[in-house]
Amino acid sequence: MLDDKIEIRSIEYDSDDYKQSRNLRHEVLRKPWGHSITEDNLDHEKNDLLLGAFSDNKLIGFGTLVWHTGDIAQVRYMAIDASWRKSGIGSKILSALEEAARVANKSKMILNSREKAIPFYEKHGYKVTGELIVPPFIPIPHAMMEKELN
């Protein structure tokens, strides 16, 4: 059961909370594969929606939404602190990103999922739309997924 004290809120680009998001993303998404978040060009995040889950102002979960032209928005950088996984935080962030997309009149969500995370997105109604491909940046298979918003 998710603690009521977990707060989901937006994060301002280049703020102290944003620095926490870079650290969390580094730990969860880059370091295990010998990479660093500093290799990612994150300049576009000035324009993206950045959402964090906080416990006592400590960032424990994160995800972003990239606004594509037309009716599409893309989920990126979903990362939950290892000690908080499978307690509903990823679901809360994903649902909040979807709601923001709806409010912005987007009708389709897309994302590129790591193979291990595919069941998580399937539970939220996403469908795999492409083959598993190992991208150049991280040596694990990823597949494109999408969901129509209603």
Applying CB under 6 A, which residues contact ligand COA? 28-29, 78-80, 85-91, 113-114, 116-117, 119-120, 123
Query: Closer to ligand COA at the Cβ: 29 or 51?
Result: 29
Of all residues in the shown chain, the one whose CB is closest to ligand COA is: 90
Helices (H), the chain: 16-25, 89-103, 118-123
Min dist CB 94 to ligand COA, Å, is 7
Min dist CB 56 to ligand COA, Å, is 18
Instruction: Report the candidate in 35, 45, 38, 2 with the shortest Cα–Cα distance to residue 22.
Output: 38
Query: Closer to ligand COA at the Cβ: 67 or 122?
Result: 122
Phi-psi region of 105 (alpha: psi -120 to 50; beta: other; left: phi over 0): left
Q: Which residues pair with 66 in a beta bridge?
A: 74
